[in-house]
Amino acid sequence: MLGVSLDITERKLAEEKLREYEKAIEGSEEMIAVVDREYCYLIANRKFLSQGDMTKEQVVGHLVPEVLNKGVFEAIVREKLDECFRGKVVRYEMRYTYPALGERDLLISNFPIEGPGGVDRVACILQDITERKRAEEALSCMNRRVIEAEERERNRIAKDLHEDVGQRLALLAIGIEQLKNDHPNRTVELLDRMDAVWKQTLEILTDVKASAHELYSPRLEYLGIAAVMRIFCEEFGERKKVEIDFRSRGLPSLMQPEVSICLFRVLQEALHNGVKHSGVEKFRVQLWADDEIHLTVSDPGSGFDLEAARRGRGLGLIRMEQRLRLVNGTFSVDSQPEKGTTVHASVPLRSASVMRAAG
């Protein structure tokens, strides 16, 4: 009898707590429901019911797959609930079709609730993020168009530099050399000055070609991202008088062009920023693949306050983030004043690769 009395007492206490919880969440503007281990709804607040155009009697006391689309429950919801019953807080996004509202994007947070014998209930908090997702998609689409336009303009300017300015500088250098050869009786001083002008012209020609390749590198199309990055690091290091240790391994033999361009632009931006702000002459670049393509650019220099950079004119950081978001990638910066900087970009291998990994 004592055991039965204790069991009844515990059950009454649990029911009282459930009623208190139900009162507390009823006025919330978020959709909230509580589910037990049998996947049965114990609580559903006003917002949850109105979103689905349902009454309390249609939800409370019914199983989740009876209330939700059964296919969605089996494919997504059951696994997330089970994970929460194991004591984990679980957050995920899901697209769900309501009979009255149509397709909506939801952010769902599941929280385990402890009972006398462990986790016996899950509190599910749902947020309708449809409008936010639509705004993000519109912004992403606009960013994509801006970046595509930027790449087209880079290509145009690069061709102008290479085919017009570059060729004219090359002809000027040839003309100066011919002028020296055609007039050997010129004074030594004049010949030296002509020689100096000829060398300056070649230096400018080299810089113009380098700028053209930075703006647009056709090498990406036939050499691959690793080779192009290695060449860029060598040429950039030589021009800027810095040492760049470049290493790569395990990359796909071919990558999607937009991913290659994205990572190449991140490398360019990171190295330019590093040379300008770090105060050091040694950099390390690593490019490798596991389940993602990773690029890191690091230096042991002065570092910076990341939040201050974002609040200021950190447009380079923003542009790198935007580019990576468009290829389903991620971007992070680890930097502190006087402790160096590491820029890390990654793209899922399934998004980047068009062929199996090279050996």
* pLDDT tier for residue 150 given thresholds of 50, 70 and 90: low
In tens, the pLDDT along 117-145 reads 889 899 999 999 888 888 777 766 776 67
In tens, the pLDDT along 17-76 reads 666 666 666 767 789 999 999 999 998 998 999 998 999 999 999 999 999 888 899 999
Considering the domain architecture, whether residues 239 and 348 belong to the same structural domain is answered as yes
Structural domains in the chain (count) = 3
CATH code where residue 286 lies: 3.30.565.10
| CB neighbourhood size of 177 (10 A) | 15
Q: Span 161-168, mean pLDDT?
A: 63
Q: Span 275-297, mean pLDDT?
A: 92
At 4 the pLDDT is 41
Considering the domain architecture, whether residues 30 and 159 belong to the same structural domain is answered as no
Considering the domain architecture, whether residues 158 and 195 belong to the same structural domain is answered as yes
Query: Is pLDDT of 283 > 90?
Result: yes
Residue 332 lies in a domain: yes
Considering the domain architecture, whether residues 232 and 176 belong to the same structural domain is answered as no
Considering the domain architecture, whether residues 313 and 297 belong to the same structural domain is answered as yes
Residue 16 lies in a domain: no
CA 282, distance to chain mean position in Å, is 26
At 83 the pLDDT is 95
Alpha helices (runs of H) in the chain, residue ranges in sequence order: 2-25, 46-51, 56-59, 64-67, 70-72, 78-85, 130-159, 166-182, 188-215, 219-223, 225-240, 257-277, 306-311, 315-326, 349-352
Distances, alpha carbon 218 to alpha carbons 122, 232, 319, in Å: 55, 12, 22
Which residue would you say has higher pLDDT here, 358 or 243?
243
Considering the domain architecture, whether residues 98 and 171 belong to the same structural domain is answered as no
Average pLDDT, the chain: 80
Considering the domain architecture, whether residues 221 and 268 belong to the same structural domain is answered as yes
Considering the domain architecture, whether residues 211 and 229 belong to the same structural domain is answered as no
Which residue would you say has higher pLDDT here, 218 or 243?
243
Query: Is pLDDT of 178 > 90?
Result: no
- Name the residue range of residue 67's domain: 26-128
Considering the domain architecture, whether residues 80 and 209 belong to the same structural domain is answered as no
* pLDDT tier for residue 252 given thresholds of 50, 70 and 90: confident
Which residue would you say has higher pLDDT here, 211 or 119?
119
